[in-house]
A and B are shown apart, each in its own frame.
Chain A
Amino acid sequence: MKPEDPDPLDDLLAQWQVPQAETPPDFRREVWRRISATEPEPGWIEKLAWWLLRPKREAFIVAAAIVLAVVWGLTHPPQPEFTPHDAYVMSVSPFDPHHLDGRYP
């Protein structure tokens, strides 16, 4: 067939019209329901990650942890390295193991 020859189907195709059908009201929802039905349900880890790992929430949690750590540090100061009694013995006894600490390298 030569390219300039008319195709007998052309007229038929030109006459063809797509019927205007009304979509049901829950069509869109039903489509998404079917799509989601094919996906597996996310586990609790995925849900937690989705909830937790958001920039603002992450920043808030890190800041809260740092504030709590500082408050804990302030309310629980470190114990002294030695008791006052030991400090006295350390300072007067030339035979105390720590008497020379840091004095003669």
Chain B
Amino acid sequence: MTPAGRIAAFVFLTAAAAGAALWATRESLRHRENPQEVGLRWLKDEYHLDDATFEKVSALHRDYFRQCDKMCRQINEADRPLLWRARNRNRQPGELNAQLARDQIVCGDCEKAATGHLKQVAALMPGQSGQRFLDDILPIMQQQRRVHDENLSSHLRR
């Protein structure tokens, strides 16, 4: 190997070792926190909740997450056959519409449950914080619902 080739090989191996060390260090520092825990901490800080209020809010969220888990499973089960429609072209249109209607009902129930939960949380917040909280979160969720429905219908139109 020429001197230039040996230097290049050495530089490459050194850079690879340093890159691997950097990656390993950063990965070891990366927080693997649950979004639910991170979100609750944000809620406490953002809306200046005292410990007693935060405990009530946390209890509400625990109940909601349990309910949400069940309902998300239902949404997932309702969405999946619709998203797999492309693989089952021989389905009857009536069957598809029935599934779409079921999906809309499940999504409506989920949205209602989420909205109700958010309003309960807002009611526990002091002063104008509750309204600020609803003004922040509800429009985002409604927008996400619209995007979800659009994605589903555009998938079905393919």
Contact = CB atoms under 8 A, between A and B. Distances in A.
> Does B associate with A?
yes
Interface of A: 45-46, 48-50, 52-53, 58, 61-62, 65-66, 68-70, 72-74, 76-78, 80, 82, 84-85, 87-100, 103-104
Chain A interface secondary structure, helix, strand, loop or mixed? Answer: helix
B107 interface: yes
Nearest to A95: B144
Given A45-B4, A61-B14, A91-B35, A73 B26 contact: yes
Contacts of B73: 104
A98 B69 CA distance: 14
A69 B21 contact: yes
13 contacts: A48-B3, A52-B10, A53-B10, A70-B25, A78-B30, A84-B39, A88-B42, A88-B43, A94-B75, A95-B141, A95-B144, A95-B148, A96-B141
A88 B114 CA distance: 12
